[in-house]
Structure 1
Amino acid sequence: MTTDHLTAAVRAFAEERDWQQFHTPKNLAMALAGEVGELLAEFQWLTPEEAGRVMAAPDAGARVRAEIGDVMIYLTRLADVLGIDLVDAALTKLDEAATRYPVEQAKGSATKR
């Protein structure tokens, strides 16, 4: 499935339920933030090692997968409502980051510029 197919599926889901009236940018951004918070809660208090193995734990892995699904759905819907192409936005941001963090200066360093 492509991002276009996902966008169409999420849009259809909302339209079938007459939810587009509630899908304002503000509401979708707030819902997205809430879902990201639920994803973060799955990692809260885990050590870096435990976090790296979270998908190997059946229950925790299923919860993380579900929360990432929720995040993707809300992000996709928000981008659709705002008329933003997700892939284009991500690739543009990646190009900007490549300029800001050239390999020869950033490799192996977490320092922000």
Structure 2
Amino acid sequence: MNQTKNSMQKIKAFRDDRNWRQFHNEKDLAISISLESSELLELFQWKTSEEVKASKIERIKEELADVLIYSYMLADNLDFDIDDIIEEKLVKNNIKYPVNKSKGSKKKYTDFN
């Protein structure tokens, strides 16, 4: 079994043991992803990356895990295979950001000449 499927099984077991599936509709999961992303972002507010990594690494892990857990649950609700949707997005990104135009550049694809 691959790691993604194993993680999803653990997430579902945690949720189901608490009878929380009833609260995890797509809208609320999307909101939760945004809220947890904001909590992750807040760790970096007014600090350098180095400061946060030096003093808040456990909090970074916790908030990132929350974002991923809610993301996994949303994907599961929608019957998306996480590996498949990531692969599809990487194919699209490869087209939008060809190496010859994007390597070493922070430009958005719409700014390529």
Length-normalised TM-score, structure 2? 0.89
Please report the RMSD computed on the Cα atoms of aligned residues, expressed in angstroms. Answer: 1.3
> Unpaired runs of 5+ in structure 1?
none
Tell me by how many angstroms 1:100 deviates: 1.0
**Higher RCO structure, 1 or 2 (CA under 8 Å, sep 6+):** 1
Tell me by how many angstroms 1:56 deviates: 3.1
Instruction: Name the structure 2 match of 1:35.
Output: 36
Change (3 A) 1:3 1:101: same
**Alignment of structure 1 residues 1-113 onto 2, 5 Å:** 2-47=3-48, 51-52=49-50, 54-57=52-55, 60-113=56-109
> Unpaired runs of 5+ in structure 2?
none
% identical aligned pairs: 39
Aligned length: 108
Length-normalised TM-score, structure 1? 0.89
Distance 1:38 1:108 in 2: 30
CA shift digits 1:48-79 (9 cap, x unpaired): xxx0453333xx11111111111111111111
Q: Secondary structure at the match of 1:12?
A: helix
